Chains A and B, each alone.
Chain A
Amino acid sequence: MRWIAPIESLGRACLNGLAETGEILLLLVQAFLWLLRPPWRLRLIFKQMEFVGIKSINVVILTGAFTGAVFALQSYHGFSLFGAESLVGSTVALALTRELGPVLTCLMVTGRAGSAMAAELGTMRVTEQVDALYVMAVNPVQYLVLPRILASIIMLPVLTIVADYVGIVGGYIVGVHLLGINAGIFVAKIIEYMEISDISMGLIKAAFFGLILSLVGCYKGFYTHGGAEGVGRATTEAVVLASVLILAFDYVLTAIMF
């Protein structure tokens, strides 16, 4: 039955995908059920907020600044073809707040913190530290997973605000100081075209992406098996899966919200 093999493997891939989706959602449900029950581990949540948020600031500032700068540069060249250089400011600001701010911030944090979550939980799994939590009557979902998810949902919008702001400043520096756009017009056009909903929708996206990157990172780590190699695999898979999901849900959320 050689002809059936490809169909078989396609079917298996689909089933695996479905099973994984189910497991990820179950982990999410478990984590949020723990939200209703004490103890609430504020100290752990703050620790994760520091790790996900404060320690990502440098990366986010650099990403935001260069993105804003290059965006100003590119759009200037485009707009100057028909004499609309005055729109550079608003273009940069809109692109950053609606798309690039949340998406790039979350992708960078996925690489930094999502991978670290998978590696840390994966190591804890393969060295039986997760079992040790169970044995000591502490639920690892509540102790390890929930604080990471909450911290990410809270901190990614904050980081996105930083990226938005720094990005617009980067665009301003390039647009006004390098390309000679009038500073007043640059700012006035931003104010004219940008609405508060552009920013808030971007932040909602960021919160949602924060959920994705932490949930996927924790899921891959939590169900790691196979020693050091398994930890490496979990880390890679977490980054790839979270990044793809962020980009896919970016489309979905944009289609729904704007």
Chain B
Amino acid sequence: MDNIIELIDIHKSFGKQKVLDGLSLAVPRGQTTVIIGRSGGGKSVVLKHMIGLIKPDRGQVLVGGQDITQMDDRELNQVRKSFGMLFQDAALFDSMNVGDNVAFPLREHTRLSEKEIKRAVAEKLALVGLTGAEEKLPSQLSGGMRKRAGLARAIALEPEIILYDEPTTGLDPLLTDAINRLIKDTQERLKITAVVISHDLAGAYRIAHNIAMLYQGRIIASGSPDGLRQNQDPVVQQFIHGRAEGPIEVL
């Protein structure tokens, strides 16, 4: 299978704390891969390696076959243009309104006229169900609306890959479902690769083609949602059934 992103034997420590310990993971092109694992277990760190926000102490990060850990700023920026990323709290620029936020990557990296940008912004906002929200400031939006606006910005340049950092954390069940549906729709409509970080298993089963489980700095299981359910590893079983007792020390 064709892998668009490959992490090979990644080691990363922050100070004395070892976060990733020989992690390897392949993300197939054009599919949705969900990374599950415990809170604070380094899932966001994995995601940030994929786009060069964090450099590994050791190991390779291949994007489209090229090792981004060896790139200089200019090459890395070229690669980054094929990514969109939705941050945990959306990371909208709060000095700009929603329209300018979505227009930001277009203004930076395309030569579109203001009229074309306006049309593109309206189109992206419509895709995430925020038609007409251009003039609102991020501070006036609810959590769910911020995430949707963040998604509109992430897909503005029509990237090949979208990274989602805990897109449903802190949302109510209805919004969680709406965001999951949006991730699935976006992936299917734009035929893109999606990497989602989550600890919401129900959502993961719905949107994922592949699920990978992160535990103690490594991927201990990966495969289709069905494959994961049938995985007999006691750690995986404990996590997917949400039990406090088992090999994972919870407290």
Pick the residue among A132, A138, A139 that contacts B87 (CB under 8 A): A132
On whether the beta carbons of A132 and B91 are closer than 8 Å, the reply is yes
Q: Out of A120, A128, A136, which one reaches B89, CB within 8 Å?
A: A128
Q: Is A21 engaged at the interface, CB distance under 8 Å to the other chain?
A: no
The answer to whether B109 and A128 touch across the interface, beta carbons within 8 angstroms, is no
Looking at A123, A129, A135, A138, the one whose CB has the most chain B CB atoms below 10 A away is A135
Q: Is the Cβ of A136 less than 8 Å from the Cβ of B88?
A: no
B62 to chain A, nearest CB (A): 18
Q: B43-84 CB contact bits vs A (8 Å, 1 = yes)?
A: 000001001110000000000000000000100011011011
Q: Which residues of A contact B89 (CB under 8 A)?
A: 127-128
A134 contacts which of B53, B93, B105 (Cβ < 8 Å)?
A: B53
Given the interface pairs A129-B91, A131-B53, the reply to whether A136 lies near B73 with Cβ below 8 Å is: no
Is there contact, CB below 8 Å, between A137 and B109? yes
Q: Nearest Cβ distance between residue A131 and chain B, in whole angstroms? A: 6
- Inter-chain contacts of B95 with A (CB < 8 A): 120
A137-B80 in contact (CB<8A): yes
Q: Judging by beta carbons under 8 Å apart, are A135 and B85 in contact?
A: yes
**A15 to B91 alpha-carbon distance, docked (Å):** 34
Residues of A within 8 A of B92 (CB): 129
Within 8 A of B (CB), among A91-112: none
Which A residue's beta carbon lies closest to that of B108? A138
Q: Which residue of B lies closest to A128 (CB)?
A: B91
- Name the CB-closest residue of B to A39: B108
Q: How far is the CA of A139 from the CA of B72 in the complex (A)?
A: 13
Chain A contacts of B205 at CB under 8 A? none
Known: A137-B108, A137-B109, A138-B108. A132 touches B77 (CB 8 A): no
A-side interface size class: 10 to 19
Q: Is the CB of B73 within 8 A of A139?
A: yes
Q: Is the CB of B81 within 8 A of A137?
A: yes
Give the size category of B's interface with A.
Answer: 20 to 34
Residues of A within 8 A of B51 (CB): 134-135
Are B80 and A134 interface neighbours, CB within 8 A? yes
- A135 contacts B73, CB within 8 Å? no
Expressed in whole angstroms, the minimum distance between the Cβ of B186 and any Cβ of chain A is 17
Are A131 and B108 in contact, with the CB atoms below 8 A?
A: no
Contact of B91 among A131, A137, A138, A139 (CB under 8 A): A131
CA distance A137 to B80 in the complex (A): 6
On whether the beta carbons of B105 and A127 are closer than 8 Å, the reply is no
B53's contact among A123, A135, A139, by CB below 8 Å, is which?
A: A135
Question: In whole angstroms, what is the CA distance A131 to B48 when docked?
Answer: 9
Question: Please, what's the 1-or-0 string for B182-193, where 1 marks a CB less than 8 Å from any CB in chain A?
Answer: 000000000000
Beta-carbon contact of A127 and B80 below 8 Å = no
Q: List A contacts of B73 (CB < 8 A).
A: 139
Partner of B108, one of A120, A123, A136: A136
Interchain CA distance A139-B83 in the complex, whole Å:
16
Chain A residue numbers with a CB within 8 Å of B77 are 137, 139
A135 with B80: CB separation less than 8 A: yes
B93 touches A129 (CB 8 A): yes
CB neighbours (8 Å) of B93 from chain A are: 124, 129, 132
Name the B residues within 8 Å of A131 (CB-CB): 48, 53, 87, 91
Tell me, rounded to whole Å, the shortest Cβ–Cβ distance linking B15 to chain A. 12
Closest chain-A Cβ to B138's Cβ sits at a distance in Å of 10
Q: How far is the CA of A120 from the CA of B94 in the complex (A)?
A: 10
Give, as a whole number of angstroms, the nearest-CB distance from A111 to chain B: 21
With both beta carbons as reference points, the residue of chain B lying nearest to A133 in the complex is identified as B93
10 A-B pairs with least C-beta separation: A137-B77, A128-B91, A132-B91, A137-B80, A135-B85, A128-B87, A136-B105, A129-B91, A137-B81, A138-B108
Contacts A/B (CB < 8 Å), 17 sampled: A120-B95, A123-B94, A124-B93, A127-B94, A128-B88, A128-B89, A129-B91, A129-B94, A131-B87, A132-B85, A134-B53, A135-B80, A135-B83, A135-B84, A136-B109, A137-B77, A137-B108
